[in-house]
Amino acid sequence: MVEQNTPTDTTIHFQLTALDTWFFRESRPHDAAGASELSSLFPPPVRTVAGAIRTFLGDSVNIDWQAYSKGNGSAHDETGLDFKQAVGDSDTLGKLSIRGVWVTRAGKNLYPVPLYLMHKEKQLARLQIGDRVSCDLGYVRLPELPESLEKGYKNIEQSWVTAKGMSRLLQGELPDNTDIVSLEQLLQAESRLGISRDNSTRSVTDGQLYQTRHLRFKDDVAIALNISGLEQRLAAKLNSGQADIIRLGGEGRMAALNILPDGENMPGLKPDSQPLSKFIIHFITAADFDGQMFPDSFKAVAENGQVIHWQGSLQGIELIIEAAVIGKVHREGGWDMKQHRPRAVKSYIPAGSAWFCRLADPSVSRETLINALHETCIGRDTQWGRGQILIGNWTDNYQGEINGNK
C-alpha cells in the first residue's frame, strides 16, 4: 500500500522544548517479565506529540472533552467549528497532515544516521552491496564492508547526522565526524522510582513499585514537527510571539510550544544532468508496511525457484529493490486518552533503514524520479508522516552479477 499526503503552503512549524524531564514509555508493560526499568522512546512518537498539540488547541476553544470523547466534536459557539473534523482524534488527523517528529540542535534539524554507515573509532565507512548469496530470503545480494577495509567496523547506534552530513551521504560520500551527533550529546537519562497509589484510601498499593527512565534534554535540544491543514480559526489561537505551555508525554510533563516563522529545507541531491538509474531510498521516519519489509505493491521476483530481488511501484515509478539495510523493528504503543486504555502495539521499519534500488525503466529522468519520490511518505499512515524518504546516489563500483548477468 502506498500513500502520499503532501503538506500545503499553509504549513505551521512547531518546536517543543522541555521545561523538565520527559518520559515516553516504551512498548513493554510495567509488569513485563524482567522489566526492572522501563525506558523512554526518543524521539517521541508522533501520535503523542500530535495529541498534546490537539489538547492545547481544544482547551483554547473550550472543548467539552467529556462530550468530545462520546463523539460530539463541536467546539463552543465562538467558533462553531467541528473540532474532530478539523484535527481528528486518537485514530485520525482530520484535515491535518504531519511531517516529523524531528530532533533539533541549536535550531537545526538532525536526521537519523543511515544504517549502512559504519564506524571504527573515528573512521567512517559505507556498506556496499556484494555478490548474491543463498540465505533465508533467497539468492539475494546483501550489504557488506568493502574488501579494502579492515575488520572491526560496527553500526553507529542511537546517533543523528546534521543536514550538511546528510547531504554528503545523499551524494554517496562520507560525512565528517563532527556531523555525527550521539544520543549523549543530546540528552541524559535519569532513573525515577514510583509506587501505585489507591486514591480511595489515600494509601500506597503493596507490591506496585515501578521504575522509569526519564530524559533530560540539553539546553539547545528540542523536537519539531510540521503540521499543515490547520483551520485558520484554530491557528489564530497559537501564540507566535512567545511560547505556550503544554503537557507532553507520561506524567504530563511541561513543554514550551513555539511557532517558528520558517521551516528548514531538507537535504537533497545536487542538480545534475546525469541519469539516476541506481539510487538509495533513505527512511528518515519509521515506516509502516503492515509488518513486512516492503509495501504490498512490491512482489518477490524469482529465478530458478529462488528470490533474487523485489519489484514494484512507488508514486508511479517502477523500481527494483536489489538489497536493503533494515534495523531492528521499532515498536510503539502509547495511551489512548479517548478510550482510557493502552493502544495496540505496532511494529515499524525503523528510521535509518535504506533500500538500494534500480529503475526498472532506465529512461526515467533524474528530475522525474526526484520530483516523484524525494521527501514523500510511503506505506501506511503517511498523513502522520510515517515512511518519509530522501533519495540519494548509490555510487559503489560493484562489478558482479546483476539479474543473472555478469
pLDDT of the residue at 296: 92
Q: Give the separation between CA 404 and CA 406, rounded to whole angstroms.
A: 7
The residues facing 191 across adjacent strands are 213
Q: What are phi and psi of 283, to 5 degrees?
A: -95, 120
CATH of the domain at 297: 2.60.40.4350
Res 228: pLDDT: 94
**pTM for the whole thing?**
0.90
Picking from 203, 217, 192, 204, the residue whose alpha carbon sits closest to that of residue 30 is 192
What does the pLDDT read at residue 355?
98
What pLDDT digit, counting tens, does each position of 133-180 carry? 999 999 999 999 888 888 889 999 999 999 999 999 999 999 999 999
> What three-state secondary structure class fits 366?
helix
Domain hosting residue 208, numbered range: 12-110+184-260
Contact 115/352 with Cβ under 8 angstroms? yes
Cα dihedral 53, 55, 61, 66, rounded to 10, equals 160
Please check whether residue 141 lies inside any domain of the structure.
yes
Beta strands in 73-186 (DSSP E): 97-105, 108-112, 117-120, 123-126, 128-135, 138-144, 154-155, 159-162, 180-182
Measured between alpha carbons, how far apart are the two ends of the chain, in Å? 33
49 and 82 assigned to the same domain: yes
CA distance 201 to 213: 28
Return the pLDDT at 406.
32
Quote the pLDDT of residue 38: 81
Last residue of a domain, one of 238, 260, 282: 260
CA angle 141, 400, 391 (to 5 degrees): 60
Report the number of secondary-structure helices (H) and strands (E) in the chain: 7, 25
Q: Which backbone phi and psi does 191 adopt, to 5 degrees?
A: -80, 140
pLDDT of residue 342: 77
User: Domain boundary residue among 237, 260, 283?
Assistant: 260
pLDDT along the chain (406 residues), means of 10: 46 93 80 66 93 89 80 59 85 92 96 96 92 93 88 92 97 95 95 82 79 92 95 81 85 91 89 87 97 94 94 95 94 77 87 97 93 96 97 74 38
Residue 286 contacts residue 382 (beta carbons within 8 Å)? no
- Taking CA atoms, 250 is separated from 2, 24, 25, 333, 400, in Å, by 32, 6, 7, 13, 52
C-alpha cell at 198: 489507591
Regarding whether 167 and 48 lie in a shared domain, the answer is no
Pair (205, 106) in one structural domain: yes
Q: What is the pLDDT of residue 75?
A: 56
Residue 252 confidence (pLDDT): 86
Identify whether residues 71 and 16 lie together within a single domain.
yes
Looking up residue 100, the CATH number of its domain turns out to be 3.30.70
Per-residue pLDDT reduced to its tens digit, 187-197: 999 988 888 78
Residues 280, 362 within the same domain: yes
Residues making up the chain, counted from first to last: 406
The Cα–Cα gap between 287 and 378 comes to: 7
- Which three three-digit cell numbers place residue 162? 546534521
- Residue 405: per-residue pLDDT: 36
Do 97 and 117 lie in one domain? The reply is: no
Q: What's the structural domain count of the chain?
A: 2
**In the chain, pLDDT over 90 holds for what percent of residues?**
60
Specify whether 102 is located in the same domain as 205: yes
pLDDT at 206: 78
